[in-house]
């Protein structure tokens, strides 16, 4: 363990509280190896170590929940490889790690589109969620990306809409909603996909698919949403 990592872990331990740990548990966040440090404190620590790829690896390998969140904040997306992404995604054990790492670190990489599609096909809960979360982040952050670049995401989302696992179900809705709110072009595709999901749910009886379709259509067909689209 490097002196830098040791100092950070001591700092995390000193800032963790039982109250925050209890709050994490209420939000279904794994506390198996966590300190209970609030996010504002994590961001304050991260500011001291920006773009430190070696430190990010150490933080991740420590296995501590907050250390892994810090890894996402301090790593350099330009140095992140496909191998690293695949290794880290297999370690995901909670939705906040999943969403933070995909949003802060993986989405800016040139591998993001391929990994989003690939991971969504995985049977592992948080790997699949990672793929869906990445689709959502890409739809929001890649402002200059051609709209048709996102089309291959629709069949991938539709294929997993009947996954009854809560964290996958919510991510399916999240991804489809963000795509549907990106542009008029993608909205039409998202509405069509959500409608097909709803019809399939009537036949299959899938509660997850029914919920996903309703949640998506409620938001992307809303008059205020449609008025903002170009």
Q: Give yes or no: residues 143 and 223 share one domain.
A: yes
Domain boundaries, position 149: 83-230
CA dihedral of residues 130, 194, 183, 219 (deg, nearest 10):
-90
pLDDT, residue 161, reads: 98
Indicate if the pLDDT at residue 3 is higher than 90. no
Indicate if the pLDDT at residue 46 is higher than 80. yes
pLDDT, residue 1, reads: 76
Last residue of a domain, one of 75, 91, 116: 75
Distance CA 37, CA 189 (A): 41
pLDDT, residue 50, reads: 87
Q: Give yes or no: residues 20 and 126 share one domain.
A: no
Indicate if the pLDDT at residue 136 is higher than 80. yes
Q: Per-residue pLDDT averaged across 172-194, rounded?
A: 99
Last residue of a domain, one of 75, 91, 110: 75
Domains in the chain, number: 2
Indicate if the pLDDT at residue 43 is higher than 80. yes
Q: Per-residue pLDDT averaged across 206-230, rounded?
A: 97
3-class DSSP assignment, residue 171: helix
CATH of the domain at 188: 1.25.40
Q: Give yes or no: residues 15 and 112 share one domain.
A: no
pTM of the model: 0.95
Q: Give yes or no: residues 139 and 53 share one domain.
A: no
* CA-to-CA separations, 34 to 9, 44, 47, 156, 175, in angstroms, rounded: 11, 18, 21, 33, 28
Q: Give yes or no: residues 128 and 197 share one domain.
A: yes
Indicate if the pLDDT at residue 9 is higher than 90. yes
CB 96 within 8 A of CB 29: yes
CB 135 within 8 A of CB 153: yes
Q: Give yes or no: residues 66 and 154 share one domain.
A: no
Last residue of a domain, one of 22, 57, 75: 75
Contacts of residue 3, Cβ cutoff 8 Å, sequence gap at least 6: none
Q: Give yes or no: residues 50 and 102 share one domain.
A: no
Output the six-digit token pair for 176. 């489809």
Radius of gyration of the chain (CA): 19
Q: Mind listing the pLDDT tens digit for each residue in 159-178?
A: 999 999 999 999 999 999 99
Q: How many helices (H) and strands (E) does the chain have?
A: 14, 0
Quickly state the pLDDT bin for 198 (edges 50, 70, 90). Answer: very high
Average pLDDT, the chain: 97
Q: Per-residue pLDDT averaged across 74-88, rounded?
A: 98
């Amino acid at each position: 363990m490097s002196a830098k990592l040791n100092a950070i872990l001591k700092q995390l331990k000193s800032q963790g509280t039982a109250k925050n740990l209890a709050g994490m548990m209420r939000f279904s966040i794994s506390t198996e190896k966590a300190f209970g440090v609030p996010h504002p404190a994590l961001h304050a620590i991260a500011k001291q170590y920006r773009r430190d790829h070696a430190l990010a690896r150490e933080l991740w390998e420590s296995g501590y929940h907050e250390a892994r969140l810090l890894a996402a904040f301090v790593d350099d997306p330009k140095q992140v490889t496909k191998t690293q992404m695949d290794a880290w995604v297999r370690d995901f054990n909670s939705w906040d790690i999943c969403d933070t790492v995909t949003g802060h670190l993986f989405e800016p990489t040139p591998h993001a589109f391929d990994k989003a599609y690939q991971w969504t096909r995985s049977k592992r809960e948080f790997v699949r969620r990672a793929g869906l979360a990445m689709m959502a982040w890409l739809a929001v952050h890649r402002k200059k990306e051609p709209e048709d670049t996102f089309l291959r995401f629709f069949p991938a989302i539709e294929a997993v809409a009947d996954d009854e696992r809560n964290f996958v179900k919510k991510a399916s809705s999240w991804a489809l909603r963000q795509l549907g709110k990106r542009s008029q072009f993608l909205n039409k595709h998202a509405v069509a996909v959500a409608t097909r999901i709803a019809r399939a749910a009537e036949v299959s009886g899938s509660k997850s698919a029914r919920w996903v379709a309703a949640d998506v259509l409620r938001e992307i067909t809303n008059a205020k949403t449609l008025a903002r689209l170009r």
